[in-house]
Structure 1
């Protein structure tokens, strides 16, 4: 997370969820992808979905 103020003094924050994936496949389900993780291909949450969830927690 990067937080600070812009040139006008408005508070801003940016959440970045980094992964070491080379590729991901679409799956059934909201925010779910299939990628190689933990020595095999698995379904997991998409990084953008995770970042959105983190943002909602911070706002609350």
Structure 2
């Protein structure tokens, strides 16, 4: 199984009239990653317990 996008793939898509959109990978700072992880943790808690965690952890 081939990995990646080849020139043959590009040629075939061009023949089919398919345009490929290259998406940039977003890079996040460690701070942004921690913030996102915190929100994901809150969402998991809410899914498991049916409510958001109490403020201040109590």
TM bracket (short chain): under 0.3
Report the structure number with the largest CA radius of gyration: 2
Question: Normalising by structure 2, what TM-score?
Answer: 0.27
Choose between structure 1 and 2 for higher RCO, CA contacts under 8 A separated by at least 6 residues.
1
Q: Which of the pair is proportionally richer in helix? A: 2
Q: Which of the pair is proportionally richer in strand? A: 1
